[in-house]
Amino acid sequence: DTEVTQTPKHLVMGMTNKKSLKCEQHMGHRAMYWYKQKAKKPPELMFVYSYEKLSINESVPSRFSPECPNSSLLNLHLHALQPEDSALYLCASSRIGILGSTFGSGTRLTVV
């Protein structure tokens, strides 16, 4: 298995909803990442987990809450989002010390 799987592929949510994005990999990678990508823009790093511990938080608002329950799973919990949070959310993973990440296909999030 050489893939990073993200679910759901598409999500529409209201500003008062609570939802979660899920990311899964079975490549034994111990670093996992969340990126946010707006249309026609490059991905922007949000969070980095190394060995299931949060190592980088790029000043992301608290309405985004990451969770890494085990070495294969990475979640992003969403609550009280704003329309400007609509974007493609990409998950990636890599081996610690081995460079270059494997990306998932992303979740297209629309906040209404």
Partner 1 sequence: AQTVTQSQPEMSVQEAETVTLSCTYDTSESDYYLFWYKQPPSRQMILVIRQEAYKQQNATENRFSVNFQKAAKSFSLKISDSQLGDAAMYFCAYLYNNNDMRFGAGTRLTVKP
The single residue among 69, 70, 83, 100 that binds partner 1, judged by CB under 8 A, is: 100
The Cβ-side half-sphere exposure at 104, using a 13 Å CA radius, reads: 30
Residue 103 touching partner 1 (CB under 8 A): yes
Judge whether 74 and 64 are in contact, CB under 8 Å: no
**If binding is defined by CB under 8 A, does position 66 make contact with partner 1?**
no
Separation CA 99–CA 93 (nearest Å): 10
Hey, is 62 helix, strand or coil? coil
Residues in the chain: 112
Instruction: Tell me if 73 contacts partner 1 by CB under 8 A.
Output: no
The smaller minimum CB distance to partner 1, of residues 57 and 82, is found at 57
User: Interface residues with partner 1 (CB under 8 A)?
Assistant: 31, 33, 40-45, 48, 50, 55-56, 88, 90, 92, 96-97, 99-106, 108
